[in-house]
Amino acid sequence: MPRRDSTDTASEPRGSALYEVLKGIDFERRELVDKPRGVGLFDLVKDKGGSYKCYACTLCERTCPVDCIELDYCPEFEELPFDVEAERAAALATLPGESCGANAACVMGEKPAGYAPEIDMKKFDAVIAGIREGSGLVQALHSTQEAYGYLPRVALEDIAGEMHLPLSRIYGVASFYGQFRLVPVGKYVIDVCMGTACHVAGAPLVVEAFSQELEVPVGGTTPDGLFTLQTVNCVGACALAPVVRLGDDETIGRVGPNEARKLVRKLRKAEVPA
């Protein structure tokens, strides 16, 4: 629209319908500072079916120049209040385009009980102290995981506050690196080395044996909370391949599928009170 000066508004009406509409609008030029931008509430648009169109692609958050949008996430959201797969299937069947089907619950929804379990915040002081000394985000996440065994949501929120970063940025970093865990681990963490030397010595068979014996996939934790099965790229003890690391301290060399099963049985036996 061409810019009009105030003289235009002062001139006589020309009988245009458009002008009638424009008459009510104040075209007076003013400095922006006098008239602050109206910041309304952001709202998510719903489609005809009543579902949110947003599927949390995080683009708005990443492009916002002043970091005023913050997405929430739900890593410990183990038991969702709805069936994600069914929702997704229903959404895809009825609606064009993509939708996660969860009605953007991660952004807008009510948080269920037990969503962010309480943690012992005393252990967290060291992390905050580290951040103030200038340790980077990755280091802060390391020390958090050292303290709790995983990255609790509450701790990440505090890190976000301390470092003045959006929580999703922290989540992005935490989910990028293979070593960070967002859910608690079992009492025994079994790391099977998947380095080249271990591979040629039969590490895939060992992982499979552990997985069968524990009845969890790689990355899973047994329901009794005793074992977590993980793989690690290389622990650098290639001469002893295949290598299994138990917890942080114990490294066991030359483990075959049979030894793997025996190890699990031995640890299980030790746990059962006699």
Partner 1 sequence: MTARRTSKIQRALKAARDTGAYLADDKKTEIRVCAGTACHASGRVALRKAIDKALAERGLSDRVAVVETGCHGFCEEGPIAVVRPQGLFYPRLKPKDVDEIIETSVVSDGIVERLLYKDPATGDPVAHEADIPFYRLQQRVVLALNGKIDPYSIDDYFNHGGYTALAKVLDDGDPMGVIDEVEASGLRGRGGAGFPTGRKWRFCRGNPGDVHYVVCNADEGDPGAFMDRSVLEGNPHSVIEGMTIAAYAIGAQSGPVEGYVYVRHEYPFAVERLRAALAQARERGLLGGDILGSGFSFDIRINQGAGAFVCGESTALTASIEGHRGMPRGKHIRTVAHGLWGQPTNLNNVESYANVPWIINHGAEAFAARGTATSKGTKIFSLTGKVVNGGLIEVPMGATLRHVIFDIGGGMLPGREFKAVQLGGPSGGCLPASLLDDPIDFESLVAAGSMMGSGGMVVVDDSTCMLDFVKFFLKFTAEESCGKCVPCRVGSQRLLEILERISDGEGTLDDLDRLETLSDDIIEGSLCQLGGSAPNPVLSTIRYFREEIEAHITEHRCPARVCRPLIKYTIDPDACTGCHVCLGACPTQAISGERKQVHVIDQKLCIKCDTCRQVCKFDAIPVVDAQPALVEGRQQ
Q: Does 217 bind partner 1 (CB under 8 A)?
A: no
* Nearest residue to 56 via CA among 2, 20, 125, 103: 103
Kindly tell me which of 109 and 130 has the beta carbon lying closer to partner 1.
Answer: 130
Give the β-pairing of 244-246 and 250-252. antiparallel
In the bound complex, what is the minimum distance in angstroms from residue 155's beta carbon to partner 1?
16
Task: Give the residue with the Cβ less far from partner 1, 149 or 256.
Answer: 256
Q: What residues form DSSP beta bridges with 193?
A: 232
How many residues in the shown chain lie near partner 1 by CB under 8 A?
46
Question: Is 237 an interacting residue with respect to partner 1 (CB under 8 A)?
Answer: yes
Binding status of residue 138 toward partner 1 by CB under 8 A: yes
Pairing of strands 244-246, 227-232: unpaired
Encoded tokens for 270: 């030790």
User: Are the C-beta atoms of 142 and 121 separated by less than 8 Å?
Assistant: no
Q: Helix (H, G, I), strand (E, B), or coil: what is residue 189?
A: strand
Compose the 184-213 pattern: x for residues touching partner 1 by CB under 8 A, - for all others: ----------xxxxxxx-x--x--xx--xx
Taking CB under 8 A as the criterion, the residue among 189, 256, 267, 268 binding partner 1 is: 256
In 3D space, the residue among 168, 118, 178, 174 whose CA is nearest the CA of residue 141 turns out to be 174
Rule CB under 8 A: say whether 255 interacts with partner 1: no
Q: Which of 116, 218, 252, 267 binds partner 1 (CB under 8 A)?
A: 252
String of contacts with partner 1 for each residue 74-103, x by CB under 8 A: ------------------------------
Q: Does 26 bind partner 1 (CB under 8 A)?
A: no
Which range of residues in 24-32, 111-119, 122-130, 226-234 is near partner 1 by CB under 8 A?
226-234
Of residues 157 through 176, those in contact with partner 1 by CB under 8 A are 163, 172-173, 176
234 binds partner 1 (CB under 8 A): yes
Q: Is 151 in the site for partner 1 (CB under 8 A)?
A: no
Query: Residues 39-62, buried b or exposed e (16+ Cβ, 10 A)?
Result: eeeeeeeeeeeebbebbbeeeebe
Residue type for position 71 = L
Residues 219/179, Cβ–Cβ less than 8 Å: no
State the minimum distance, in angstroms, from the CB of residue 6 to partner 1: 48
The answer to whether 189 and 209 have CB atoms below 8 angstroms apart is no
Q: Contact with partner 1 (CB under 8 A): which of 139, 220, 267, 268?
A: 139
DSSP H stretches of helix in 103-215 = 105-108, 125-132, 137-148, 153-163, 167-176, 196-200, 203-214
- Residue pair 244/206 in contact (Cβ under 8 Å)? The answer is yes
Query: Which residues here bind partner 1, judged by CB under 8 A?
Result: 136-139, 141-142, 163, 172-173, 176-180, 194-200, 202, 205, 208-209, 212-213, 232-241, 243, 248, 251-253, 256-258, 261
